[in-house]
Amino acid sequence: MTERHVVALGGGGFSDRDDARLDDFVLGLAGPSRPRVCFLPTASGDSADYVVRFYEAFRERAEPSHLELFGRPRQDIGDFLLAQDVLYVGGGNTANMLAIWSVHGVETVLREAWERGVVLAGISAGSICWFEAGVTDSFGDELAPLRCLGFLADSNCPHYDSEAQRRPTYRRLVDAGELPPGLAAEDGVGLHFVGTELAEAVAARPEAGAFRVEPGAETAIPVRRLG
């Protein structure tokens, strides 16, 4: 059976120009020395600046490409995504991203890619999207629960240390049963799943942490420091 990988980043990666270790970790799961990595910037409205930063970060160590869904998208979305070694989803508005993916059938292709062994990764919106649900600011300033793709069970919360309302809101939503129990990651942390099970948490920052959050309880998860 093909080994399936998801790396859900709480924050960091190529969005943080000063630290490439999380992205190196993701690329290392793909196998080839210069893996084909495709950026999906849907959540940011296909931000041109975001796409440029992606190419600047990956062009020396991979074969980068990106998929635009605004305007007139390419006709061969399925074949294009399935030909990649890594699919890397950017941050932004998760609810809008999921809606646009649904219109173009992208979520179906992503599941097939995952089942074929293409590495799925992403930051923020690109982190929570793989889970059953997550906490999001897609609907305005107030954080809210959101149903997601459900490749992975439970819920997810990124930016657990860098945004003041993330931690209390996520804990409140889990306590109230509005979100299932799940995993929270601080900036600089990647949650690596093999199949549907958490294999490990890795970090590019010395003090960054990851947590299991259940009703009435928050438990730190061991984190392996990269580099």
Which domains, and CATH codes, for the chain?
A: 5-225 (3.40.50.880)
Residue 132: predicted pLDDT: 98
Residue 16: predicted pLDDT: 73
Residue 159: predicted pLDDT: 95
Residue 79: predicted pLDDT: 98
Rounded CA separation 212/170 (Å): 11
**First-last CA distance in the chain:** 31
Active site residue 102: no
Rounded CA separation 78/147 (Å): 24
The residue annotated as part of the active site, out of 44, 127, 155, 159, is 159
Q: Please calculate the CA angle 156-62-55 and round it to the nearest 5 degrees.
A: 75
Residue 18: predicted pLDDT: 57
Task: Match 């084909």 to its residue by tokens.
Answer: 36
Residue 31: predicted pLDDT: 86
Exposed (0-12), middle (13-18) or buried (19+): which is 218, by Cβ within 10 Å?
middle
The residue annotated as part of the active site, out of 15, 124, 127, 155, is 124
Percent of the chain with pLDDT over 90: 89
Query: Which run of H or E residues covers position 146?
Result: strand 144-147
Residue 227: predicted pLDDT: 83
Q: Of the candidates 132, 121, 199, 189, which has an alpha carbon nearest to the alpha carbon of residue 158?
A: 189
Residue 99: predicted pLDDT: 98
Active site residue 124: yes
Rounded CA separation 90/120 (Å): 11
Backbone angles phi, psi at 165, to 5 degrees: -90, -5
Ranges of residues in the chain with a pLDDT under 70 are: 1, 17-18
